[in-house]
Amino acid sequence: MDWNAVSAISSLVATVSVIIALAIALRQLRESSIGRKGQSALALIGDLQSSQVRLIRDELLVHSNRLNKLAESCTDLGEVDSYLRANLRGLDKSEVTLVEVRRAMASLEFIAVLCLHNSMPIQFERAYLGPTLLRYWQSFRPVVMIVRRSRGDAIYLQHLEAVVGLIASGMLFSPGHRRHKRNAVARIVGQSRAGAIRRAGLALGGYGAVKSDPPILEAPFREKEVGSL
């Protein structure tokens, strides 16, 4: 008996067995990951479709003309809160406050973060999040602009704005969607860093202040195009 041949065959069988086991493990891991992403997606659908959030979105859209005018120059969040309380109604005809609106916007920002970091199935992003986030952005955008101006914080809700830009430009639906997401995240990180340095410079009397980076939506799409959708 050729023991060298037997040894070679045994080694080959062992190697193939390891490869098969690894492939099975990777498949199970992938299926588990997809399952978790699917569960997260379902939970997010529930948040977005909650009666109160949808009602706030619709109410903001009804009053979009007035809110857009406020967004042009208003820096007083108290004035915005008073307007919302006087004119918007939530469930059971209750007042809608700026705190509630910002809470809803924070949920949208969290969803956008998950999207940019590929934590949800791409099919879900394209089929559901795309049209949904565009509608929400159209309603919430004036309030976002007012909050940014009042706080001097140009990066407020920057993940949501970036995702809306990817949707509006069609980049989310392209084969290179992951690369476009990475580029968007890189721009956000750059702006966050510049904003932190700028705020630190102001706190230190101007030392270390830097020039503001361009808006996240400046290239390859512009804010006015997204805001008009």
pLDDT reading at 15 higher than 60: no
Burial environment of residue 141 by CB neighbours within 10 A (0 to 12, 13 to 18, 19 or more): buried
CB neighbour list of residue 50: distance below 8 Å, 6 or more residues apart? none
What is the dihedral sign for C-alpha 114, 115, 117, 123?
positive
Region 124-153: mean pLDDT is: 88
CB neighbour list of residue 118: distance below 8 Å, 6 or more residues apart? 178, 181
What is the structure's pLDDT at 93?
83
CB neighbour list of residue 134: distance below 8 Å, 6 or more residues apart? 164, 167, 168, 229
What is the structure's pLDDT at 39?
65
pLDDT tens across 70-106, in order? 998 888 999 999 999 999 988 778 899 999 999 889 8
pTM, two decimal places? 0.69
**Average predicted confidence (pLDDT) for the chain:** 76
What is the dihedral sign for C-alpha 61, 66, 68, 71?
negative
Region 109-113: mean pLDDT is: 89
Answer yes or no: are the C-beta atoms of 94 and 84 closer than 8 Å: no
pLDDT reading at 49 higher than 50: yes
Helix (H) or strand (E) holding 55: helix 51-62
pLDDT tens across 157-211, in order? 999 999 999 999 999 999 999 999 999 999 988 887 876 777 666 555 554 444 4
Distance between CA 11 and CA 7 in Å, rounded? Answer: 6
